[in-house]
A and B are shown apart, each in its own frame.
Chain A
Amino acid sequence: MEVPILKQGRFLIATIQAALSDADLLQLRRALIDKVIHFRSHGVIVDVTALDVMDSFATRTLRDITNVIRLRGADTVIVGIQPEVAFAMVQLGLTMEGVATALDLEEGLAHLQQRAARKT
Chain B
Amino acid sequence: MSSSKRSANHMERTVSQSTELLQELVSHLRQNRTQLREEWANRITEAQLLTAMTKEEIFTEATSVYDNYVETLATGTFEALQSYSRNLSERIIPRGVETHEVVGIVLLLRDVLARSLFAKYQGDFTMLNRILDAYEPAANRIANTVAVGFVQERERVIRQQQEAIRELSTPVLQVRERLLILPIIGVIDPHRARQLTEQLLRGIRTNRAKVVVIDITGVAAMDATVANHLVQTVEASRLLGATVIVTGLSPEIAQTIVTIGVDLGKMNTVGDLQGGIEQAERLLGYKVVLVADTVQS
Binds A, one of B71-79, B166-174, B239-247: B239-247
Smallest beta-carbon distance A44→chain B, Å: 16
Asked if B201 contacts A86 (CB within 8 A), the reply is: yes
A58 at the interface (CB under 8 A from B): no
Number of interface residues of B (CB under 8 A): 19
Smallest beta-carbon distance B229→chain A, Å: 10
Interface of B is mostly: helix
Asked if A83 contacts B202 (CB within 8 A), the reply is: yes
Residue A95 contacts which of B201, B202, B235, B241 (CB distance < 8 angstroms)? B235
Task: For B205, list chain A residues within 8 Å (CB).
Answer: 83, 103
Interface of A is mostly: helix
B232 at the interface (CB under 8 A from A): yes
Closest to B207 in A: A103
A53 at the interface (CB under 8 A from B): no
Task: For A55, list chain B residues within 8 Å (CB).
Answer: none
Asked if A89 contacts B236 (CB within 8 A), the reply is: yes
Interface residues of B in 179-223 (CB under 8 A from A): 197-198, 201-202, 204-205, 208-210
Task: For A85, list chain B residues within 8 Å (CB).
Answer: 239
A90 at the interface (CB under 8 A from B): yes
Residue B239 contacts which of A81, A107, A108, A111 (CB distance < 8 angstroms)? A81
Asked if A81 contacts B240 (CB within 8 A), the reply is: yes
* Bound: A115/B109 CA distance, A: 82
Asked if B232 contacts A103 (CB within 8 A), the reply is: no
Asked if A90 contacts B239 (CB within 8 A), the reply is: yes
* Bound: A40/B208 CA distance, A: 31
* Bound: A78/B238 CA distance, A: 11
Task: For B235, list chain A residues within 8 Å (CB).
Answer: 90, 95
Smallest beta-carbon distance A79→chain B, Å: 7
